[in-house]
Amino acid sequence: MGKKNKFWIILSIVSILSAALFMQLNKPKYLRIVGVKELTLESGHLFDDPGVELVNSKMTGVTVTVAGNLQARVPGVYDVTYILSDGQRIIEEIVRKVVVKDTTPPDLNLNGSADTLVCPNQQYVEEGFSAIDITDGDVSSSVAVKNETAQISYTVADRIGNSVTKVRTLRYEDTTAPIITLNGPAVISLTSYSTYNDAGATATDNCGTIPTETITVSSNVNTSKLGTYTVTYSATDSAGNKSEAKRTVNITAPPAPNVSHSGSVIYLTFDDGPSSNTVDVLRILREEGVKATFFVNHRDVGYNYLIQQAYAEGHTIGLHGYVHNYQYIYSSEAVFFDNLYKIQTEVEALTGYKSYLFRFPGGASNSVSRFNPGIMTRLSIQLKEQGFHYFDWNVSSGDASNLGSAALVANVKGQLGSGKQYVVLMHDGAGHAATVGALRDIIRYGKSMGYSFGAIDINTPEYHHRIAN
């Protein structure tokens, strides 16, 4: 082939290619990409497709569909293809590239506070943590924990290497005050002159136990005056943090008396005194405006003033015996009356009053005298012949037994009724603090039920037990 022919062949090929290129470049365009042709998407984020638009807005009977395998949680380069068709043929296809990148570290969260208080001399107890990566999911098990003196650092990375570190600061301080819990109700209501027994409180502390005995109590409760009072409990921990709790005590007037037992008289009688308990018995009787009867024994001279005080305050002084030894006083009539006259003489010397009111040690129905058969029968006759009046009881408080105050009150309430005269046996000797605790409640109950109170005198009808010896 000659050079001339080769030239024309090459020229023909170039012409054909140029024509094809011209046709391609001048091919009609129907779709236009909205926005950029290459879009970057952060892994895990929603792909908000800007879409395409028709170049000729007057085209009709065409649809645009989208094709592609975009995975928004998997980094990579993806093609999003927009296809224009008229239902029979594809008119045009254009492509947008979407680059999915992962530049976000996992979301690391610490349980509790990043600034954590730890009790002095105690170790921090890990509160936990969690880490979630938008691509890798839960990566909590990959968290690296580094313990240092005053802080703990937590670090985690995803598969691509995006990492995050958080620090928990440890402050070894005790800034939390103890928590005080009241024993019993926070508000108490009592009637005037009743007994207020403080129930106390307990305290707990985040850094240690607060001993109950270290709780201080401040109280201004005065049951003799109506009003509202506050009892304050205070506790301080070893770091000096202090807290308080308060109890309110309302002192109110007693209820109006019940008149159902009007005309019935209660005679409160006390045996075996005087003692230190007699001081409180006299105070309560004075505050309640009640008179009573004391069957006394010979006691240490230091208690003689109480016999004088009781007599001066209008109470009756009866006789119980110079000594209280059953084997001795019931050994014979002569010994019995010698014991009786000695206490009568002592009482007269102290008060100027010669008492003829008497109570048998153990009561007239006692069995302790049976070692001397018939002596109680003989003594009961001889007492009357010598001008004495003896009194047993028809209500026993039970305070000769080891009972608490509440039980004594219940005993007395249970034995009162609609009779006209109740002689109540109690004791003011040593060892009878429970009697003191029950006395005011017994009086208050009697008043509320309409009973009156009196002191035994020479004209009071005698109450006798059946003599058993």
Which helix (DSSP H) or strand (DSSP E) does residue 277 occupy?
helix 276-288
360 near 465, Cβ under 8 Å? no
How far apart are the C-alpha atoms of 199 and 182, rounded to whole Å?
A: 8
All domains in the chain, ordered by first residue: 33-101 (2.60.40.10), 107-172 (2.60.40.10), 179-252 (2.60.40.10), 265-454 (3.20.20.370)
For the question of whether the overall pTM of this predicted structure is more than 0.75, the answer is: no
Which helix (DSSP H) or strand (DSSP E) does residue 78 occupy?
strand 76-85
136 near 161, Cβ under 8 Å? no
User: What pLDDT tens digit does each residue of the chain (469 aa) get?
Assistant: 566 667 666 666 655 555 444 444 455 689 999 999 999 999 989 999 999 999 987 888 899 999 999 999 899 999 999 999 998 999 999 999 999 999 999 999 999 999 999 998 889 999 999 999 998 999 999 999 999 889 999 999 999 999 999 999 999 999 999 999 999 999 999 888 777 889 999 999 988 878 877 899 999 999 888 999 999 999 999 889 999 999 999 999 877 666 677 789 999 999 999 999 999 999 999 999 999 999 999 999 999 999 999 999 999 999 999 999 999 999 999 999 999 999 999 999 999 999 999 999 999 999 999 999 999 999 999 999 999 999 999 999 999 998 999 999 999 999 999 889 999 999 999 999 999 999 999 999 999 899 999 999 999 999 999 999 9
- 24 in helix, strand or coil? helix
- 396 in helix, strand or coil? strand
- Write out the two tokens for 387: 């001008």
Query: Residue 96 phi/psi, 5° resolution?
Result: -115, 135
